[in-house]
Amino acid sequence: AQTVTQSQPEMSVQEAETVTLSCTYDTSENNYYLFWYKQPPSRQMILVIRQEAYKQQNATENRFSVNFQKAAKSFSLKISDSQLGDTAMYFCAFMKPLGGKYIFGTGTRLKVLA
Amino acid sequence: DGGITQSPKYLFRKEGQNVTLSCEQNLNHDAMYWYRQDPGQGLRLIYYSQIVNDFQKGDIAEGYSVSREKKESFPLTVTSAQKNPTAFYLCASGTVPSYEQYFGPGTRLTVT
């Protein structure tokens, strides 16, 4: 069975600095998808970034980028130029194609300090 | 505006009563999902449906039931058999091939 582990329950970063959130996963699959979702205090889940396992190139969305290490089963999220609005819970998620199910990590609470 | 709506935002029930949480989407997505969120446990999948009139149990389906009679709607019933129903419930929809899921605003259910 697939598992997703986020080993950092809480993190903080100064505004404008860079922070990296860790995520590791366990799977025997070769093809799968990985996601980072953000849940701000409003509790609305928002997709941050998505990575297909068959793509070697790391995904990037504006200030958000990932470091995808397939052999190490690692999928970290880097937030550059952190903003106060980045304060949120961040969830890493794994999905096997055609399986229809996400597996979520337990989340990392990120606080951006002014 | 396209999106997912969940109602109500807050719901209070007495123990022993069944309660139905609403989830509607106008994104034309085939797949819909129900998750439960408890502090420190992330999101756990209750039920999901990839097509109308079909649904599958997730990891914590006991004490819950769903129906998928319309593409747009995926209501969740929390039955009296659910031992600890107080939680935050999130509905999502998604589509192949992106596999991205789009979430509703959630319903906070409190059972006393």
* Predicted confidence (pLDDT) per residue in B4-25, tens digit: 999 899 999 999 899 999 999 9
Q: pLDDT tens digits for B23-49? A: 999 999 999 999 999 987 789 999 999
In B1-112, DSSP assigns E strands to 4-7, 10-13, 19-25, 31-37, 43-51, 54-57, 64-66, 76-78, 87-94, 101-103, 107-111
A92/chain B closest Cα distance in angstroms: 10
**Cβ contacts (< 8 Å) between B31 and chain A: which residues?**
100
Residue A103 has pLDDT above 70, yes or no: yes
In this prediction, residue B1 has a pLDDT band, given cuts at 50, 70 and 90, of low
Distance from C-alpha of B23 to C-alpha of A63, rounded to nearest angstrom? 32
B102 vs A: CB within 8 A: yes
Pairwise CB contact (< 8 Å): B48 & A101: yes
User: Does the CB of B101 have a partner CB in chain A at under 8 Å?
Assistant: yes
| B56:A100 CB<8 A | yes
